[in-house]
């Protein structure tokens, strides 16, 4: 008896064909100069690329893809690069999040419809990472993530400035009159100094860390700067590895287990990661069929310390994190909290990958015994304002405000907020609670990052730097403050948030995990009878989105996209 026959690769359902069908499938690809032996049964590797000039964070992805291809060829594979819709966080209106699920559909259908055996996911700017992971998970082929890496550290007049965090800080200074408009504009060119994603622990760096903590990338993926030659080297090694993964049939579902998600949640606490990770990981878990809910974030992560001294929670930037040892060094510090037996895409366990990871700078990566925050994970708040949950990142909040009771100052939508916040006559003081409605998945639509409302100038001038803010929106991972987000159900879906009025007393109790509107049920019923939902889009993607998007506590995926359809080969096209 001979050794068992290897299963035929799905690409051979295209390229291994005889007659007219095989001719069609091979001939057009030969027009790119591919010789006949490229179709001989070797793994075909799709390189899913989110390059775009409109997404400067991913502006180096064409070069990165070339290094991936080198690796694929070296390992005996056949690389074929393909584009999907790219989402530049800073450019796309009304919000890139409106299109995360659309991109995931693009990714899923592009993979399944084509002669692909394994996939390298090139992702960077915020939404490109969850979109590609979600789409690939619904196909469940061997897949490996390659992040674009953070941009170089921002530097203005000899001082470090971090993506997003620096903008928020400096714009408050302009509004308070302590920074001129000319200085503000000068700083624009000093912040993003290279391609690559935001170099604070914003959503992009958080999601790159999630990719590595989940085991979906080679070690060190999260922190190598975008323009460091070691990022190119990682790309080449990623190309080699995906070919082996196809031979091993190492599919996403073997890596993305419940234990891997638990590791990611704990890692998010230890890095002071973005609240956006909550929504993205819930959606990803839904795609791969892993049970995960909002309360898992609180139960698994909220008591863990933040060890990473990075803006916005701390002092340093992603480049410093890489020089200090990167994510492997941090994971080694929290190894006692992790499932070390989780399989990762390099075929080794997480424990194997981090066993010898050195830390070169304990100011940046603090020891477990000396964290920058003691309890740093995501806290989930419930009460009559958020029966399905709301989240807050205590590590980015003011400790004195974590228990607070105050009168609401209500903004019906973001335009209302922008129109009135600078008005000196606005009745608001530092004890007020700012409430913003209609910015959730259906309300915006797309759940924009507007939850960290800027403070009124008259309070900034008084030296007030933080206030309690509540909304159904998200917040940029680069932002900070005592900001309650993702209130569910959202206002536009008829949640009690829609019924809050100026002067209503709200109680926030983060240690008690409570968010309560002190208005009687009878009065709320009267207000509800008077409430009408905001107008909704009537055509195109926005209409499809509104009709199917789930609430934030479920990950804001479309209900029709939860789960997957696998990698079965579709019927012939001709």
**Residues near ligand FES, by CB under 6 A:** 57, 89-90, 125-126, 163, 197-198, 202, 204
Compare residues 286 and 477 and give the one whose CB is closer to ligand FES.
477
The residue behind tokens 């010898």 is: 356
- Give the shortest CB-204-to-ligand FES separation in angstroms: 3
Closer residue to ligand FES, CB minimum distance, 101 or 197: 197
**CB 148 → ligand FES: shortest distance, Å?**
9
In 3D space, the residue among 437, 412, 557, 413 whose CA is nearest the CA of residue 487 turns out to be: 437
Do residues 478 and 202 make contact, with C-beta atoms less than 8 angstroms apart?
A: yes
Q: Quick one: 46 or 154, whose CB is closer to ligand FES?
A: 154
Closest to ligand FES by CB, 167 vs 250, is 167
CB 555 → ligand FES: shortest distance, Å? 20
Whose Cβ is closer to ligand FES: residue 80's or residue 447's? 447
**Which residue, 202 or 377, is less far from ligand FES as judged by CB?**
202
Nearer to ligand FES, 195 or 302 (CB): 195
Shortest CB 44 distance to ligand FES, Å: 30
Smaller CB separation from ligand FES, 320 or 449: 449
In the complex with ligand FES, the residue whose CB is nearer, 90 or 299, is 90
Look at residues 524, 447, 430 and name the one whose alpha carbon lies nearest to residue 487.
447
Preceding amide of 94 cis, omega within 30: yes
From the CB of 24, what's the least distance to ligand FES, in Å? 39
Residue 10 CA: distances (Å) to CA of 112, 172, 380, 484: 10, 55, 43, 47
Q: Taking the CB of residue 187, how many other CB atoms lie within 10 A of it?
A: 18
Contact (Cβ atoms closer than 8 angstroms) between residue 134 and residue 256: no
CB atoms within 10 A of CB 519: 20
Q: How far is the CB of 494 from ligand FES (least distance, A)?
A: 33
In the sheet that holds 379-381, the strands lie side by side as 379-381, 389-392, 483-488, 468-471, 433-436, 403-411, 505-509, 514-517
H helix and E strand count, the chain = 20, 14
The C-alpha angle with vertex 414 and arms to 410 and 418, in degrees rounded to 5, equals 90
Q: Which is nearer to ligand FES, 204 or 288 (CB)?
A: 204
Q: In what order do the strands lie in the sheet with 44-49?
A: 78-83, 44-49, 118-123, 143-147
Cβ closer to ligand FES: 326 or 456? Answer: 326
Minimum separation from the CB atom of position 110 to ligand FES (A): 22
Cα–Cα distance between 105 and 312 in angstroms, integer? 32
Cβ distance to ligand FES smaller for residue 198 or 434: 198
Note the Cα 275 to chain centre separation in Å: 9
How far apart are CB 89 and ligand FES at their closest, in Å? 4
Task: In angstroms, give the least distance from the CB of 138 to ligand FES.
Answer: 24
**Residue 214 token pair:** 């989940």
Answer yes or no: are the C-beta atoms of 507 and 516 closer than 8 Å.
Answer: yes
Q: Least CB distance from residue 62 to ligand FES, whole Å?
A: 17
Helical H runs in 348-451?
350-354, 414-420
**CA proximity to 238, closest of 326, 142, 150:** 142
**Closest approach of Cβ 40 to ligand FES, in Å?**
40
Which residues, including other chains, have CB under 8 Å from residue 178's CB and lie 6 or more apart? Answer: none
Q: φ and ψ at 130, to 5 degrees?
A: -65, -35
Tokens encoding 527: 């207000």
| Residue 421 Cβ vs ligand FES, minimum distance, rounded to whole Å | 24
Q: How far, in Å, CA of 497 to CA of 449, rounded?
A: 17
| Residues belonging to the chain | 574
Q: Looking at beta carbons only, is 263 or 274 nearer to ligand FES?
A: 274
Query: Which tokens go with 231?
Result: 């990022």
SS3 content of the chain, % helix, strand, coil (to 5): 40, 15, 45
SS3 (DSSP) at 380: strand
CB of 147 to ligand FES, least distance (A): 10
User: Which one, of 5, 12, 4, lies nearest residue 40 by Cα?
Assistant: 12
Q: What is the DSSP letter of 375?
A: S
The residue among 263 and 275 lying less far from ligand FES, judged by its C-beta, is 275
CB 250 within 8 A of CB 347: yes
Structure-token pair, residue 84: 């999907």
Pick 140 or 319: Cβ nearer ligand FES: 319
Nearest distance in Å: CB 124, ligand FES: 6
Least distance CB 104 / ligand FES (angstroms): 18
């Amino acid at each position: 008896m001979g050794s068992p026959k290897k299963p035929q690769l799905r690409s051979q359902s295209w390229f291994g064909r005889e007659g007219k069908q095989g001719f069609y499938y091979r001939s057009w690809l030969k027009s790119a100069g591919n010789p006949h032996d490229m179709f001989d049964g070797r793994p075909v590797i799709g390189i899913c690329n989110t390059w775009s000039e409109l997404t400067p964070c991913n502006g180096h992805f064409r070069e990165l893809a070339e290094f991936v291809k080198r690796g694929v060829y070296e390992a005996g594979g056949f690389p074929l690069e393909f584009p999907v819709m790219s989402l530049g966080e800073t450019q796309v209106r009304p919000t890139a999040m409106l299109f995360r699920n659309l991109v995931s559909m693009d990714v899923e259908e592009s993979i399944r419809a084509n002669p692909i055996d394994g996939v390298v996911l090139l992702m960077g700017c915020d939404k490109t990472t969850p979109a590609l992971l979600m789409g690939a998970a619904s196909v469940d082929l061997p897949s490996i993530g390659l992040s674009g890496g953070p941009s170089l550290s921002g530097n203005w007049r000899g001082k470090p400035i971090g993506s997003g965090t620096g903008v928020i800080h400096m714009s408050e200074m302009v509004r308070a009159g302590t920074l001129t408009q000319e200085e503000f504009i000068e700083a624009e060119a000093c912040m993003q100094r290279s391609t690559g994603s935001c170099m604070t622990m914003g959503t992009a760096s958080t999601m790159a860390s999630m990719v590595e903590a989940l085991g979906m990338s080679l070690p060190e993926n999260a922190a190598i700067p975008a323009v460091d030659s070691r990022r190119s080297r990682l790309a080449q090694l990623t190309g080699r590895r995906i070919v082996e993964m196809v031979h091993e049939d190492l599919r996403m579902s073997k890596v993305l287990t419940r234990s891997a998600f638990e590791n990611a949640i704990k890692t998010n606490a230890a890095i002071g990661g973005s609240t956006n990770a909550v929504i993205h990981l819930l959606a990803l878990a839904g795609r791969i069929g892993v049970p995960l809910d909002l309360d898992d974030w609180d139960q698994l992560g909220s008591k863990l310390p933040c060890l990473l001294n990075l803006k916005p929670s701390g002092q340093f930037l992603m480049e410093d994190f890489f020089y200090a040892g990167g994510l492997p060094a941090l994971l080694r510090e929290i190894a006692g909290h992790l499932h070390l037996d989780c399989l990762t895409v390099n075929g080794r366990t997480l424990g194997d990958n981090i066993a010898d990871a050195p830390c070169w700078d304990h100011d940046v990566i603090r020891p477990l015994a000396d964290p920058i925050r003691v309890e740093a994970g995501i806290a989930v708040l419930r009460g009559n304002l958020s029966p399905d949950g709301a989240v807050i990142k205590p590590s980015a909040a003011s400790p004195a405000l974590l228990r607070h009771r105050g009168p609401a100052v209500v903004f019906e939508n973001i335009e209302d907020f922008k129109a009135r916040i600078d008005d000196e006559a606005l009745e608001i003081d530092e004890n007020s609670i700012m409430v913003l409605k209609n910015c959730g998945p259906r309300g915006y639509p797309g759940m924009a990052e507007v939850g960290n409302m800027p403070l009124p100038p008259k309070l900034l001038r008084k030296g007030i730097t933080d206030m309690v803010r509540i909304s159904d929106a998200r917040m940029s991972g680069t932002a900070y403050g005592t900001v309650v987000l993702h209130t569910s159900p959202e206002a536009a879906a008829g949640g009690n948030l829609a019924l809050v009025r100026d002067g209503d007393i709200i109680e926030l109790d983060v240690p008690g995990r409570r968010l309560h509107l002190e208005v009687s049920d009878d009065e709320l019923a009267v207000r509800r009878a008077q409430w009408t939902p905001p107008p909704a889009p009537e055509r195109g993607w926005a209409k499809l989105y509104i009709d199917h998007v789930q609430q934030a506590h479920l990950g804001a995926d479309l209900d029709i996209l939860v789960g997957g359809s696998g990698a079965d080969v579709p019927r012939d096209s001709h």
